[in-house]
Amino acid sequence: MIELRNVTLKYGEKVILDKVSLTVRNNTIKAVLGPSGVGKSTIIKLMLGLIKPNSGQVFVDGIDITPLKETELYPIRRKMGIVFQGNALFDSMTISQNMSFFLRENLQLPDEEIEHRVMEQIRFAGLEGYENQLPESLSGGMKKRVAIGRALIFNPGMILFDEPTAGLDPVSSKKILNLIADLRQNSNLGAVFVTHIIDDVFAIADETAVLYQGKIIFDGPTGKLHESDHPFIRSILSDKILEL
């Protein structure tokens, strides 16, 4: 479980997050919905301890990670997989090397086991035949699937998606959403995904938090979004894609 408790984050004088509280339970897909530049990706980075808040606390499985040093954070981060918005694939490594990176770095597994797991993820992502190619030779949707495979390969309890369908064509977007939905069906994985596309939220999220002007203005089951009378939520439900 991940919990943000009264988290405030500022860049200079600009308040990005203002006393944000948010809970992500295991076995739940939680969407963080909001317009571009509102601090959604920042929430994911806070959950991983990649950045620290100015005030407030971030708990991962009951441990307050805000005072931890970088080296103390590594075991915490190994509980979570992340898919970055730009994928962040290691461009000097092949697809299979990207996918096996975590296993080779952190686990003492025999090569056969690593190869088995990599092939499993490559099949899951529908990337057979591409395992020895460099990321630069793949399309945007394929890169995203590699990034998802890389995040899943060590069986994390929670996976964090930063705008998983941003910049993808409708067909690739659908494939990615189906991939995430399959995860929910086939494993007990919890997930957080931040997005500005409301259709994606309704497609796969069990719960949704709406971030607007640095504050959470809605947090609850996705189905109840329609019941909110907040003007911003009313407007996004009618416009569907947030371009604010």
The residue among 50 and 241 lying less far from other proteins, judged by its C-beta, is 50
> Rule CB under 8 A: is residue 105 a binding residue for other proteins?
yes
Question: Stretches 44-52, 120-128, 171-179, 196-204: which one binds other proteins (CB under 8 A)?
Answer: 44-52
Of 13, 14, 62, 71, the residue at the interface with other proteins (CB under 8 A) is: 71
Amino acid at 34: G
> Rule CB under 8 A: is residue 95 a binding residue for other proteins?
no
CA pair distance 129, 122, nearest whole angstrom: 9
Q: What is the side-by-side strand order in the sheet with 14-24?
A: 14-24, 2-11, 55-60, 63-64
Q: How far is CA 116 from CA 19, 65, 122, 226, 234, in A?
A: 44, 33, 10, 45, 48
Question: Stretches 16-24, 85-93, 119-127, 189-197: which one binds other proteins (CB under 8 A)?
Answer: 85-93
The residue among 27 and 41 lying less far from other proteins, judged by its C-beta, is 41
Rg value, the chain, Cα: 18
> Rule CB under 8 A: is residue 77 a binding residue for other proteins?
yes
The residue among 97 and 133 lying less far from other proteins, judged by its C-beta, is 97
> Rule CB under 8 A: is residue 102 a binding residue for other proteins?
yes
> Rule CB under 8 A: is residue 101 a binding residue for other proteins?
yes
> Rule CB under 8 A: is residue 178 a binding residue for other proteins?
no
Question: Stretches 54-62, 88-96, 171-179, 226-234: which one binds other proteins (CB under 8 A)?
Answer: 88-96
What minimum distance in Å lies between the beta carbon of 151 and other proteins?
A: 9
The residue among 50 and 63 lying less far from other proteins, judged by its C-beta, is 50
Q: How far is CA 223 from CA 35, 175, 228, 229, 241, in A?
A: 20, 23, 10, 14, 17
The Cβ of residue 113 has, within 10 Å, a number of other Cβ atoms equal to 11
- Contacting positions for other proteins (CB under 8 A): 45, 48, 50, 70-71, 74-75, 77-78, 80, 82, 84-86, 88-91, 101-102, 105-106
